[in-house]
Amino acid sequence: MTQPLVELAIVQRLKRCYWPREIFDVYTRKTVCAVAPQPRFHDELWRGRRDPDDLTYDFGRVHFFMQQLSEGVQLDPIVVETTVYPTRGGSPAWGPPHLEDGHHRFAAAVLARCRRIPMTFGGLLTTRDWLVGTTRQPPPEILEA
């Protein structure tokens, strides 16, 4: 099996089209850095057994990744995919990209003001080209989102 291609996405471009305000707007440098770094990953089953309003674990993970970035550690790539919407005509309608994996790493890159973040990408090449900086003009699925 071949490994997916890892490319460097421009953080601010990805943030432009994927930054769910109801989730990420609570992540500020102040709130994240007030919590102890959390180096250990916990799966959804563990997280499902705690108070859903308690963001201590999430802030701690973002804080941990911010520390890693400040130390020059290369993070695992985030996984970005193009949203596909079914249509009645049979051919799909393409939407903006979204994160499949790497929300804490992405939030850390935004808060640490990183220029780029490693990613693997699945979806429209026009979106990928814009995210990695090959093209300057956002594709229609970004402009219409």
Rounded Cα–Cα distance for residues 93 and 14 (Å): 20
Q: Which two tokens stand for residue 55?
A: 């963001």
In a domain, 131, yes or no: no
In a domain, 129, yes or no: no
Confidence (pLDDT) at 86: 80
Confidence (pLDDT) at 1: 64
| Confidence check: pLDDT of 9 > 90 | yes
In a domain, 22, yes or no: yes
Mean pLDDT of the region 111-134: 95
Confidence (pLDDT) at 51: 72
In a domain, 66, yes or no: yes
Domain extent, residue 107, equals 7-81+98-123
Our separate counts of H helices and E strands in the chain read 8, 4
Tens digits of residue pLDDT in 36-84:
999 998 877 776 677 767 788 899 999 999 999 999 999 999 999 998 8
Show contacts of 58-62: CB within 8 Å, 24+ apart.
Answer: 58/27, 58/104, 59/27, 59/31, 59/32, 59/34, 59/35, 60/35, 60/36, 61/104, 62/27, 62/32, 62/104, 62/107, 62/108, 62/111
Instruction: Share the mean pLDDT of the chain.
Output: 89
Residues linked to residue 99 through DSSP beta bridges, in sequence order = 80
